[in-house]
Amino acid sequence: MDLATNSLGVGRRPALLLVDMIRGFTDPACPLGSECESVVAANIALLAVFHERRLPVFFTTVVYHSPDQARVFRQRVPALNVLTPESDWVRLDPRLQCLPGDVVVEKQWASAFHGTDLDYQLRASGVDSLVVTGLTTSGCVRATVIDGLQYEYPVVVAREAVGDRNLDAHAANLHDMNAKYADVVSLEAVLELLG
């Protein structure tokens, strides 16, 4: 049985945080990738609204510059070793428009907050809440959502704008995030929240 929770929605200055919408995750040819056309389409729609309203947009990518970065994580998931600076797999999916002023944060672990200056950059931009999207629901999205809450941001997850290689894990993690850490709502509901 789930706990009683309050829906927090978004504040006056939400940021869109697109987690790892990079070629390595959006292209099934990569060992880390999956078929996620609908997730990309939902992110394109959200990006257009955030850009139109001049709200902050943050992308993350995963890049390993040296063998000692996230050593244990990479031992656990060897496919991560393809994410090197010279690889196209670390580039943002070209279907997603990254405009001047948008921020790209490099990370090495699951959470967009862990080992990065993301919280500092969000605060400097006056961000008071987050809309989190991206890949994968059970991994980097979930870790980022939990840390977002722990850094005191109300978090909204757009259901259609996240995806996972494992559909059971996707569904279970959406349920769990909604039960404790975030408002998991439809893309349409997010667009309504943004006015």
Does residue 140 have an active-site annotation? yes
> Which class in CATH covers the domain with range 14-193?
alpha beta
Q: Write down the domain spans for the chain.
A: 14-193
Give the separation between CA 153 and CA 119, rounded to whole angstroms.
10
Cβ atoms of 187 and 42 closer than 8 Å: yes
- Closest to 61 in 3D by CA, of 42, 83, 39, 44: 83
Residue 195: pLDDT band with limits 50, 70, 90: confident
Q: What is the pLDDT of residue 47?
A: 97
pTM (two decimals): 0.96
Please give the mean pLDDT across all residues of the chain.
Answer: 97
Among 30, 36, 98, 140, the one annotated catalytic: 140
91 pLDDT band, cuts 50/70/90, is: very high
Residue 174 has pLDDT above 90, yes or no: yes
Confidence label for 2 from pLDDT (cuts 50, 70 and 90): confident
